Amino acid sequence: MSPELALAQTMKFSGGPEDTLWMLSGNVFECRFEQPIPGYGTAVFRQRAGEDVSFLLETRRNLMSTTPARVSIAPPPWQPSTRSEPLGLVPMQKTSPVLALDFGRSNQFMHALREGRMPTVSHETYYDSGRFIQVQVSAVEFEKAFQDYILCASQLLDVNFDQVERSKVLFKSGQEALAQEDLDTLDRIIYYIKNDPRVTAVYLDGHTDNIGRRYDNRQISKRRVEAVERYFLVKGIAPEIITTRFHGSRYPVANNATAKGRAENRRVTVRLEIDKDMPLPDELVFELPEDAAVLPSINRSVSGR
């Protein structure tokens, strides 16, 4: 198919100077910076606590094929003769979000918007390989809204729930005290517990390898769990949310016939539970320097009008 014919058979979706809208919402767990794409869906820059930003393309009805789509950065409207910058292919999904870009290209999209250029997703339709869809993110008013996003991102926690939901502390043979690297791991978990009111339970389970008598191994696993529990209590975690259990060598996760396997089995696991039904705060209130412009709360929008 010639480029001219492909262009003629392309449905284009993008906001213009009159209808571009940037919206920002967030809390200490996530910032969501988005632009509705008229007639198509929503382009979203999402940053979770403890992670880099990722670009998502959301739509209620995906007209694009689920084969990999092309992503690129188009020049500003006032430079139509400038060539687009290709960024390769990205997988497409049937359900929303239909596209999730890796951190590297998500940052390239955001950088391009700061330069007035337009991130672009182009792909054939699922119903006709000769027809195409092009979705572009408008750079209108981006820089003004971007400053609010930076403030939101600056207040995210250092870690998210997925990163600390299940953790483990390993022990050398005969070791029962916590090493410094163990304390660093536990400090990350404690930091999260103190900053997420939804955490309702902490389960500590002690394990050993199969060297030695079963009774002795149970006592060793008990003392290891108690060492972790004491550290949590000293750091201010409420005792009523902590449950301790010790199992000795009953539940290996690796082969006890090898030194590597035994090292993996000498562990205390930490598992967190949260109340997913507990409502999260809808907005953040920023504390700005005295000489900074006063901004409204984080749930806001900036129009291109």
Instruction: Please say if the pLDDT value at position 1 is more than 50.
Output: no
Measured CA to CA, the distance from residue 238 to residue 297 in angstroms comes to 32
Instruction: Please say if the pLDDT value at position 180 is more than 50.
Output: yes
Band the pLDDT of 8: cuts 50, 70, 90: low
- Greater confidence (198 vs 79) lies with 198
pLDDT at 84: 93
Average pLDDT, the chain: 89
- pLDDT single digits (tens) 52-75: 999 999 998 888 999 999 999 999
Range 141-153 average pLDDT: 93
pLDDT at 144: 87
pTM: 0.83
CA dist 73 → 13, 101, 120 (Å): 15, 13, 6
- Strand boundaries in 183-293, DSSP class E: 199-207, 242-246, 267-274
pLDDT at 79: 86
Instruction: Please say if the pLDDT value at position 7 is more than 70.
Output: no
Measured CA to CA, the distance from residue 27 to residue 297 in angstroms comes to 11
Range 292-296 average pLDDT: 33
Walk me through the domains of the chain, giving residue ranges and CATH numbers.
3-155+293-303 (2.60.40.2540), 161-274 (3.30.1330.60)
pLDDT at 6: 47
pLDDT at 279: 81
Nearest to 11 by CA among 38, 34, 36: 38
Measured CA to CA, the distance from residue 120 to residue 55 in angstroms comes to 12
Q: Provide Rg for the chain, Cα atoms.
A: 26
- Greater confidence (97 vs 297) lies with 97
pLDDT at 81: 82
Q: Kindly state the tokens that stand for 116.
A: 């007035």
Beta strand pairing call for 267-274 and 166-170: antiparallel
Exposure of 234 by Cβ count < 10 A (0-12 exposed, 13-18 middle, 19+ buried)?
A: exposed
Range 185-213 average pLDDT: 96
Q: Look at the chain and count its residues.
A: 305
Band the pLDDT of 204: cuts 50, 70, 90: very high
Instruction: Please say if the pLDDT value at position 235 is more than 70.
Output: yes
Measured CA to CA, the distance from residue 32 to residue 25 in angstroms comes to 5
